[in-house]
A and B are shown apart, each in its own frame.
Chain A
Amino acid sequence: MLNYLIKRLISTIPVLLGISLLLFFMLRMLPGDPAQVLAGQMASPEDIENIRHQLGLDRPIYEQYATYLSRLVRFDLGLSARTQNPVIDEIWARLPNTLLLAVVAIMLACLFGIPAGIISAVRPYSWLDYLVTMSALFGISMPVFWLGLMLVVVFSVVLKWLPAGGTGSWQHVILPSITLAALVIAFIARMTRSTMLETLSQDFTTTARSKGLTEKIVIIKHALRNALIPIITVVGLQFGLLLGGAVLTETVFAWPGLGRLIVDSILARDYPVIQGAILIFGLLYIFVNLVVDFIYAFVDPRIRYD
């Protein structure tokens, strides 16, 4: 187990290197000059040149990457071009907000998605099933920002029940987390439905029924437990989608999280912050997948890591 963990941790290093490399060069292919953006419209060519030198942007690109990398291995993400604060501080200030949103959204998604999928699978082709599958289709096809705006219109503007944006109270969390969860609920419901349909028709489910167990036990203890592996896989994968969704959701709801930090930094061509924040997203994603793999071993006795 420990060996496996160490192996997995070591294997994240090339992944992170890959992310940093891709990101570094892709960012520099973006149109727009960071020095120009930073200096503003009125700046003279000398000012811009100065800033460029300050940021190290006048050196060859491979040299820039080497410097970046050598700092990275010392866990130094550099300074924000915009605010001159250490990037790590900027990220730390926003990360808890994004995590809060993501965790609430995932919990909502499991809380609604899994039961919806179970109900659908237990009564396939009933009106309840159609309701669930249609809503799931709706959830999947709906653009995140549009859903966010609609929720704001209905619950903040018309009904005035909930704040339209910002942070500070639990009410602020509701709309953005629902927005973020919608897509994930839909995916989880669909996955739960199809796997449950399968496990419900398997031999061991008939065996369970033949023992005279109640339908509730047959469904939850026998069928659902066997359907958990694919469901957990989807939850893990959706976490990545959620981080992407955070960028849009946080923008719509003026939520001070990592997603909005990224958007603001892209607009300002603040390379160090973009690189740092996306690297953190990558790390989070890797971490979640690691957790998922360990949950596998927990729910399925056939899976062993060594």
Chain B
Amino acid sequence: MNEQLKPLLEIKGLVTRFHTLDGVVKAVDGIDFEVYEGETLGLVGESGCGKSVTALSILQLLRCPPAEIMGRILFEGKNLLELDREGIRKIRGNDISMIFQEPMTSLNPVLKIGEQIAEAARTHKNMTRQEAWRWAVEMLRMVQIPGPNSRARQYPHSFSGGMRQRTMIGMSLSCNPRLILADEPTTALDVTIQAQIMSLLHRLKDEFNTAIVLITHDLGVIAEMASRVVVMYAGIVVEEAPVKEIFKDPRHPYTQGLLGSIPVIGRKRQTGRRLQEIPGIVPSPMETPSGCRFHPRCSKVMNRCCRQEPPMIRLNEHRRVSCWLEAHSTVKKSQAGGR
């Protein structure tokens, strides 16, 4: 584990709301977690639970409708939410970069691949045009694009999905960032390519000693890459644990549901396995249920769950869970902390 290291990124009480014509959407509703240097943190949860919004909030990339972001996002101790536009711009792509889900639409169709990598290097590293271009070719070589010299001069439409995602990885690493926010980097690719991209990311992460927040639906990927897992549901964190423990002993009924309730030895080796279906649907962020947000879908629901929101219970230094079941069973030794 990474407890000996200091946190690179600390998220404290992050709330992100959208003011839309239909009302206020609380996409992220008060979450806390840390990312340590060089680690891979898995961020999992069903579609719509606020994973992407969390990542985009960190770099303040949410534009329309204007998002209201509250709380604190401490990166190397300084609050990113207090920076001005120029301040956050200098962080983007340089200290923290991002990889997006859709390789087909995330690259600019009318700019050369090389240029799209080089412009980041030019912006942050004061490179000349030639230097940046050579650097871009180097990045393409690093992400194992064959013939990087000629490929750099091509446009995205002549790249396959896998190659585009490699390009995105190269782009995100081009300024040697401390942290990469990878938002479902392989969801849009076919399974064989997924494995290649993941192992590439894994290798480069170690080489560059970059921390990764890996957002994914794919528990196989989490098992292979992440050291810790944060489980989100309807805009909040419901459980956090080291990766081994979450597979061995998931505590929150939602996490158990995601894992298919009973942990099976060897399951984590099945890469490409999707989340299990849990009955019901994620509540709309405009009308979250009373009490515990998961109670309408929970198989172990109790009276209390419908009325009162469960506290965040610290089970030990590495584990926390927000569920009344834990509150009852650990009532003596509980050290309820924060939310």
Q: Give A residues with C-beta under 8 Å from B.
A: 200-204, 206-215, 217, 221-222, 225-226, 299-302
Contact = CB atoms under 8 A, between A and B. Distances in A.
A250 to B, nearest CB: 39
Contacts of B108: 204, 207-208, 222, 225-226
B290 interface: no
Nearest to A302: B157
Nearest to A199: B108
Nearest to B107: A204
Contact of A210 (B59, B105, B111, B157): B59
A210 B109 contact: no
A203 B157 contact: no
B98 interface: yes
B110 A211 contact: no
Contacts of B123: 211-214, 217
A48 B100 CA distance: 80
A203 B155 contact: no
Contacts of B120: 211-213
B108 to A, nearest CB: 4
Contact of A211 (B56, B63, B92): B92
Contacts of A300: 109-110
B124 A212 contact: yes
Given A203-B105, A204-B106, A226-B109, A211 B100 contact: no
Given A203-B106, A210-B93, A301-B157, 12 more contacts: A200-B63, A202-B105, A204-B107, A207-B98, A207-B108, A210-B59, A210-B92, A211-B92, A211-B93, A212-B175, A221-B119, A302-B109
Contacts of A207: 98, 100, 106-108, 168
Q: By DSSP majority rule, is chain A's interface helix, strand, loop, or mixed?
A: helix
A209 B110 contact: no
Given A201-B64, A204-B109, A225-B110, A210 B155 contact: no
A302 B64 CA distance: 29
A212 B174 CA distance: 12
Contacts of B278: none
Nearest to A226: B110
A210 B119 contact: no
Nearest to B119: A213
A207 B90 CA distance: 15
Interface residues of B, number: 32
B216 interface: no
Contacts of B157: 301-302
A217 B122 CA distance: 12
28 contacts: A200-B63, A201-B63, A201-B64, A202-B105, A203-B102, A204-B106, A204-B107, A204-B108, A204-B109, A206-B100, A206-B106, A207-B108, A208-B108, A209-B92, A210-B92, A211-B93, A211-B97, A211-B119, A211-B120, A212-B175, A213-B120, A217-B123, A221-B111, A225-B108, A225-B110, A225-B111, A299-B110, A300-B109
Contacts of B61: 206, 209-210
A302 B155 contact: yes
A212 B106 contact: no
B16 interface: no
B171 interface: yes
Q: Which 7 pairs from chain A and chain B are nearest by CB?
A: A212-B93, A212-B92, A211-B93, A203-B105, A211-B120, A301-B155, A204-B108
Contacts of B255: none
Interface string B131-172: 000000000000000000000000101000000000010010
B171 A211 contact: yes
B178 to A, nearest CB: 14
Contacts of A201: 63-64
B89 interface: yes
Contacts of B175: 212
B55 to A, nearest CB: 10
Most chain B CB within 10 A, of A207, A209, A226, A301, is at: A207
Nearest to A217: B119
A212 B171 CA distance: 12
A211 B136 CA distance: 14
A57 B270 CA distance: 89
